[in-house]
Amino acid sequence: MLQIKNLVVNYGAIQAVKDVSLNINTGEIVALIGANGAGKTTIVKTISGLLKPTSGSILYEQKNLQQKKAPEIVAAGIAQVPEGRHIFAGLSVAENLQMGAFLRRNRKSITDSLQEVYQRFPILKQRQNQDAATLSGGEQQMLAMARALMSQPKLLLLDEPSMGLAPIFIQEIFDIVQAIQKQGTTVLLIEQNARQALAIANRAYVLAAGHVTISGTGQELLANPAVQKAYLGG
Ligand SMILES: Nc1ncnc2c1ncn2[C@@H]1O[C@H](COP(=O)(O)OP(=O)(O)OP(=O)(O)O)[C@@H](O)[C@H]1O
Ligand SMILES: [Mg+2]
């Protein structure tokens, strides 16, 4: 579904991503783990068209993404839940969800999607008229995921969806990610909670200082001593 080849991304003179190659197959959860500053967010922003690669290629469904602008990439079926959520303050929960469907034209089908996300996230239904800025952190994270689902993505890019959440919410987020996969959506999951991410991932990549250093199935990485030492607390 997505094929990244020899990707290099610079911020001015700083090279954040240095020759990264990775693949995501249809239907998979692929986890990307790595220390702070490894380049994970940079990769996600480049896939979604917010950053331009210095070199290398990103193929999505055999087509090059480089020439496309961010809204065209959303229209092609790739949605991003950015690090730090970025919900729209001053808009209600329901209005935030409508924003996620900004490229869709069929009112009826948007209403159906809204009912589906309310079923998956009952707390958002309860809070549909509340200003999104006044939701708790966990609720905002759910809103960010639900909003991304409103674009009916084929590929969902999740940048640290469990960041800052209490353990009970973290488990719920991972459960929801699995449920989203079961519904047929492919997921790229960036996570600091490496153990839980690897447990639900079909495959995973370890990123260190802009390079992929280790890759394999989620189970292989959980059992890998180098991964255990560096990312799983020994
Ligand atoms: N706008 C920017 N200008 C300059 N350097 C940047 C910019 N954004 C990120 N960087 C640098 O690029 C490197 C990779 O950053 P990135 O945000 O991709 O890391 P990350 O793996 O997502 O880290 P974290 O786990 O902390 O979110 C870091 O060294 C960071 O300081
Ligand atoms: Mg990041």
Q: Which domains does the chain have, with CATH numbers?
A: 2-231 (3.40.50.300)
Whole-number Å distance, alpha carbon 205 to ligand 2 midpoint, is 15
pLDDT of residue 190: 97
* 17 close to ligand 1 (CB < 6 Angstrom): no
One digit per residue, the tens of pLDDT, for the chain of length 234 reads: 999 999 999 999 999 999 999 999 999 999 999 999 999 999 999 999 999 999 999 999 999 998 899 999 999 999 999 888 789 999 999 999 999 998 888 889 899 999 999 999 999 999 999 999 999 988 999 999 999 999 999 999 999 999 888 888 899 899 999 999 999 999 999 999 999 999 999 999 999 999 999 999 999 999 999 999 999 987
Q: What is the value of pTM for the model shown?
A: 0.94
**DSSP conformation class of 212:** E
* Residue nearest atom 29 of ligand 1, based on CA coordinates: 37
- Sign for the CA dihedral angle at 55, 58, 59, 65 comes to negative
Whole-number Å distance, alpha carbon 182 to ligand 2 midpoint, is 26
For 131-164, how does the pLDDT look when each residue is reduced to its tens digit (9 = 90+)?
Answer: 999 999 889 999 999 999 999 999 999 999 998 8
Token pair listed for 97: 């969800």
Neighbours of ion ligand 2 (CB under 5 A): 40-41, 83
Listed residue (61, 63, 40) closest to 231, CA to CA? 40
